[in-house]
Chain A
Amino acid sequence: MSGTYLGMPAFPEAARSSTRDTGLRANLTHATRTIRDKRATAVAELDDWAQLRQAGKDIKDRTLRHLEHYLTQAEQAVTAAGGTVHWAADAAEANAVVADLVKATGETELVKVKSMATQEIGLNEALAAEGITAYETDLAELIVQLGHDLPSHILVPAIHKNRSEIRDIFTEQMGRWGRPAPEGLTDDPAELAEAARLHLREKFLRAKVGVSGANFLVAETGTLVVLESEGNGRMCLTLPRTLISVVGIEKVIPTWRDLEVYLQLLPRSSTAERMNPYTTTWTGTTEGDGPQDFHLVLLDNGRTDTLADQVGRQALRCIRCSACLNVCPVYERAGGHAYGSPYPGPIGAILTPQLRGIQSEIDASLPYASSLCGACYDVCPVAIDIPEVLVHLREQVADQGGSGHRLERAAIKGAGWVLDHPALLAAAERAASRTRALHPRRLPGPGAGAWSRTRDLPELPAEPFRDWWRKHR
C-alpha cells in the first residue's frame, strides 16, 4: 500500500484482495483480538461504565447543540492566553494556513504528534508540495511514513505490519530520513523501539516547529489536551518554538469537569489502560516555558454539514478510541486500507461518507461495508449507534442512484409488489417448489453469483409453509 487515498477502489473490490492476504489477516486477527480482550477487562473493572458512557454521550450532544457558543468561548480564551486562532472551512484552507505559518518561521521541517485531523486533510503531502518536510514521531506513524505506506488503524496505524516487516523498514529507510538504524538490528520489540528513539531524538532536539492535533479543547480556559503513550507528543508540544495545532471543531468540550469523564472513557476504550500514560495540556503561551508562538487551526471540513443531519450527527461524538475497529469482524478481515480513508472500520464507514460526501465510488460503498452485527455500538464509549447511521446513509446512497442502485430499486419495488399481494407470493413459492428438482445449487449473475462462489443455495421444500398450514390446520 502506498500513495494516496484518492482513486482507491470501492470497498468490496479492495477487500477481495485483502481477505486473501494471509499475512495481513494473521497480523490483524492477532492484534485486534489482543486489544479487544484487554479492553473488555479494563471496562469491566468500572461498575459505573454505563453511567460514564451516558455522560460521555450527553456532554458531546449538548456541546454540539451549542457548538457556536463553545467555539467562540474557546477562541476568546485561547486568544486571551496568547494564542492565535485560525478558522479553516476545508482541508485546502487548513493546509494553506499551516504552510504559511511554517514559512513565516523560515523553517523547512517540523515534527508532528500523531493526529487524525492532519491525516484527514493530507497535511504532510500538502506541506511537501511547499518544500516543507513533516516528520512523524509516533512510533507507528513513523513506521508508516518510513514505509511510504498509509495508516490502517486509528490507534495503531501500523497494525498491518508485523515486527519483522518493521525491522526491514527501519533498516532500509531510516538512513534516508536521518539517523540510520543500528547495525544488526533484530525484530526484538525493545531493539526496534530503541532504534526509533535514537532516530527521533535528533529530530526533537533540532525542530523549531511542532504540529499536533488535539483530543479535546476545553472551552472555559482555551486549553488543548493530547493523550499519548510514548512521550513523543510531550516532546513535540514542549520543545519547538512554534506550535501549530489542527483541531476539528467537534473536539470542543465546555469544562474541565467534562474532561474528567473522557479521561476515564478514552484510555480504557482505546489502549485498555486505567489511566493514560502521557496527558499533555496547554493553554496559549507561557513566557520562558514551552512554545512561544501558538496557533490553533479550527477545522470544519464537512463537520457542519454532518451536524445538520439529525441521524448522522452522532458520528461527531466520536473520541477516536478505535474500540469499534477492534471488535469489528469486517475490519478484522478486510483490513484498514480497504476503507480508503484515515478513518477505517465502523466509525470510518459512517464518518468518511459524511465528511467527504457519497459521490465517489469508494465513499458510496462504505455504508455497505458492514453486516450490521452491532458489536461496534456495544463497545462505543459515547454510544454512537453505528448500525443506525449506516442504514441511514445507505438510504442516501440508494436515493442518489447510480452504480446499480437504480436497478436495485426497480428489483426491490417489483419484489415489494409481490410481497404486498400474498396470493401472488404463494403462487411464486409454489412454482419454485414444484420446479425444485431443476434448481441448481449454484447460479450465475450479479447477486446469485456472488452468493454461489463460496456457498451452495438451499434446497427448496416440497411446498411452502402456507400450503402446509392450509392442509393441516
Chain B
Amino acid sequence: MRVALFATCVNDAVYPSTAIATTVLLERLGVQVDFPAAQTCCGQPQYNTGYRRETEPLLRRTARAFAGYDQVVAPSGSCVAMVRDHYPRIGAKAAAEGRGSELADHAASLAARTYELTEFLTDVLGVTDVGAYFPHTVVYHPSCHGLRFLGLGDRPRRLLEAVKGLELLELPGADECCGFGGTFAVKNPDVSAAMGADKISNAGATGAQVLCGADNSCLMHLGGLLHRQDSPLRTLHIAEILAGTEEETHA
C-alpha cells in the first residue's frame, strides 16, 4: 500500500507541526508514508473566490503529484472536500466547455483515493484507539467541510475519546461555522469576526484548555482571535493530539 501525505499548503508553510504529527502518527500505525514534493496547493481559495480556470493548473499539478499512490491522506477536511466535491465539478465544467475530459479524469481518479486523516484512521486502518496520550481538557470544533461536505460524523470525537488522559467536553453550538470561510474572512471581516467571537466564547465557557479541530485554516482564524484577546485557551490540530504518546509529545 503506497500512501501519500497531502500536507496542504497551509500546513507546509505555517503549521508544519501538524504535518509532522500526521507523519509520525501514520508511521506509528504501520503505514509507510511518502511526501511527494511536487504537491503545493489544492486551489480551494482560488476556486471558492470565483477563479475556476486559474484553479485548473493546480488540479492538474495535484493529480500528477499523487499519481500512482493507492491512498492520499490530508490532515484537512477542507482540502479533501475540495478534491472530492469541487475537482469533479471543475472537470465537468471544462468538459462542457469543449476542453476534453483530462481534468474530469484526473478529478475522478484522485477523488476516489483521497481521505481526510480521521476518516483514513477509522475507515481504512480501522482504528479508534491510536495509542495516544494527552492529559488535558479538550473541546472539538467540527469544521464545516468535514462535518457537512465529507460527513465525518463522530469519527474525530471517537478518536479523541480513546486518547488516554484526555477529557472531551461538549462544545455548545459545535456544528456552527467558525466564520473563517477562506477569503470570506477578509471580504466580510465583520461578520467573520462576529462568528468567530461566538465560537471562542462558547469554547471558553466550557473551561477547556484546548480548542481542537481538524482544519488549521479554521484554527488560524480562531487562534488569531484568541491570541489578540490574550486568552489562555489554545488551538490545536487533532493530528498533534493523536500523535502524542506518554514517551513523546507532539503538541
Partner among A12, A334, A420 whose Cβ is within 8 Å of the Cβ of B57: A420
Interface string of A94-133 (1 = CB under 8 A from B): 0000000000000000000000000000000000000000
Bound complex: CA A441 to CA B189 (Å): 17
Interface string of B22-60 (1 = CB under 8 A from A): 010000000000010111110100111111101101100
Partner among A372, A408, A415 whose Cβ is within 8 Å of the Cβ of B184: A372
- Contact call A412/B184, Cβ cutoff below 8 A: no
- Contact call B14/A416, Cβ cutoff below 8 A: no
- Contact call A422/B177, Cβ cutoff below 8 A: no
A429 in contact (CB, < 8 A): yes
Given A12-B187, A398-B50, A422:B38 Cβ within 8 A: yes
On chain B, the residues within 8 Å of A466 by CB distance are 7, 12, 35, 37
Q: Which residue of A lies closest to B65 (CB)?
A: A422
B156 in contact (CB, < 8 A): no
Residues in A369-396 with C-beta less than 8 Å from chain B? 369-375, 377-378, 388, 391, 394-396
Interface string of A321-344 (1 = CB under 8 A from B): 000000001100110000000000
Partner among B46, B47, B57, B193 whose Cβ is within 8 Å of the Cβ of A453: B193
On chain B, the residues within 8 Å of A405 by CB distance are 50
Given A464-B16, A465-B16, A466-B12, A391:B50 Cβ within 8 A: yes
On chain B, the residues within 8 Å of A12 by CB distance are 187-191
- Contact call B54/A450, Cβ cutoff below 8 A: no
B125 in contact (CB, < 8 A): no
Range of interface residues on B (Cβ < 8 Å): 35 or more
- Contact call B13/A333, Cβ cutoff below 8 A: no
Residues in A457-473 with C-beta less than 8 Å from chain B? 457-458, 460-461, 463-466, 468-469, 473
From B130-138, B159-167, B217-225, B241-249, the one touching the partner chain is: B217-225
B69 in contact (CB, < 8 A): no
- Contact call B182/A372, Cβ cutoff below 8 A: yes
- Contact call A370/B181, Cβ cutoff below 8 A: yes
On chain B, the residues within 8 Å of A50 by CB distance are none
- Contact call B224/A412, Cβ cutoff below 8 A: no
A409 in contact (CB, < 8 A): yes
On chain A, the residues within 8 Å of B55 by CB distance are 416
Range of interface residues on A (Cβ < 8 Å): 35 or more
- Contact call A422/B40, Cβ cutoff below 8 A: yes
Q: What is the distance, in angstroms, from B225's C-beta to the closest C-beta of chain A?
A: 5
- Contact call B193/A454, Cβ cutoff below 8 A: yes
Bound complex: CA A394 to CA B224 (Å): 27
- Contact call B37/A371, Cβ cutoff below 8 A: no
Partner among B61, B190, B220 whose Cβ is within 8 Å of the Cβ of A420: B61
Given A15-B190, A465-B11, A425:B20 Cβ within 8 A: no
Bound complex: CA A28 to CA B65 (Å): 47
- Contact call A456/B224, Cβ cutoff below 8 A: yes
Q: What is the distance, in angstroms, from B250's C-beta to the closest C-beta of chain A?
A: 13
Q: Which residue of B lies closest to A432 (CB)?
A: B13
Partner among A416, A451, A465 whose Cβ is within 8 Å of the Cβ of B185: A451
Q: What is the distance, in angstroms, from B88's C-beta to the closest C-beta of chain A?
A: 12
What would 10 more interface pairs be, CB under 8 Å, given A454-B225, A455-B227? A12-B187, A16-B190, A368-B187, A419-B40, A429-B13, A441-B227, A455-B224, A455-B225, A456-B223, A469-B37
B interface residue numbers (CB < 8 A to A): 7, 9, 11-17, 19-20, 23, 35, 37-41, 43, 46-52, 54-55, 57-58, 61, 86, 89, 144-145, 148-149, 175-177, 179-197, 220-221, 223-225, 227-228
